[in-house]
């Protein structure tokens, strides 16, 4: 599996490849974790994928949350 590098690929990866519904609760929980620099999960993800990828994830999650408002 390739690491997504854009919003559409990320949504497909989560929804289709991983079978996870992008619900508002899921997105809000992920945003809380990824924006917490003290979270062990966030630290591990930064180590594995880099800070830029985490920033992309945060941006994509915020975009998905924005779509709930539409």
Note the pLDDT of residue 2.
82
Which residue's entry shows tokens 């941006």? 59
pTM for this one? 0.91
Q: How far apart are CA 57 and CA 50, in angstroms?
A: 11
User: Stretch 14-33: mean pLDDT, rounded?
Assistant: 95
46: its two tokens = 């930064």
User: Quick one: angle between helices 24-34 and 51-69, nearest 10?
Assistant: 150
Note the pLDDT of residue 36.
97
Is residue 64 a contact partner of residue 22, using CB atoms and an 8 Å limit? yes
Greater pLDDT, 50 or 1:
50
Which residue's entry shows tokens 């594995």? 48
Confidence of residue 1 (pLDDT cuts 50, 70, 90): low
- Whether 26 shows a pLDDT value over 90: the answer reads yes
């Amino acid at each position: 599996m390739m690491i997504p590098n854009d919003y559409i690929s990320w949504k497909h990866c989560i929804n289709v490849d991983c079978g996870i519904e992008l619900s508002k609760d899921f997105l809000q929980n992920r945003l809380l974790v990824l924006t917490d620099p003290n979270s062990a999960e966030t630290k591990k993800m930064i180590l594995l994928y880099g800070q830029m990828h985490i920033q992309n994830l945060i941006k994509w999650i915020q975009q998905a949350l924005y779509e709930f408002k539409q």
